Amino acid sequence: MPSKRVPDDQGSSLDLYQHPGHLLRRAQQISVSLFHDEMSGELTPVQYAILSRLADHPGIDQVSLAGLAAIDTSTGATVCARLEEKGLLLREVIPHNRRQRALTITPAGAGLLAALEPGAQRLRDRILAPLSTREQDVFMHLLAKLVNGNNEQSRAPLALPAASDDV
């Protein structure tokens, strides 16, 4: 791998190709490319995340669903509107809070998720293919630790419901 040394603010050099931010950005590019290869072009990665979380949390409001998918609320609203246009989810105004919308996945949405499940598994397998089984376990553990440990630094932190919430 080529080495590109970039001076940091203390005068020492950082190898761009060994910088975690650069490698994470490249990993994201690879992940999105493989997603489009495996998921038949029906959904974007964010649409898939929203729809899969909705399948597990029927009746959830848009803001909470965006938190479960770790996306900002304005993007969540736009994605939900697009999924509604595609007939994959229903948005209904919540009577006691007319500013929020309760969401449910449609039979078409559930069917699409089921049809995409083999592609999602192939996607996972392809992303992790360069690693041995043991390395995959370690990588996933460390990646989850890195993401969870930095969750609050995100523009859109993952917001899991409280254990007592029935979402």
CA-to-CA distance for 143 and 137, rounded, in angstroms? 10
The residue ranges of the chain whose pLDDT is under 70 are 1-13, 162-167
Residue with tokens 């009577």: 95
| Contact predicate 80/86, CB 8 Å | no
- pLDDT at position 81, please? 95
- pLDDT at position 164, please? 45
- pLDDT at position 2, please? 56
Question: Which domains, ranges and CATH numbers included, belong to the chain?
Answer: 16-149 (1.10.10.10)
- pLDDT at position 98, please? 73
- pLDDT at position 107, please? 98
What length is written for the chain?
167
Say how far residue 165 (Cα) sits from the centre of its chain: 22
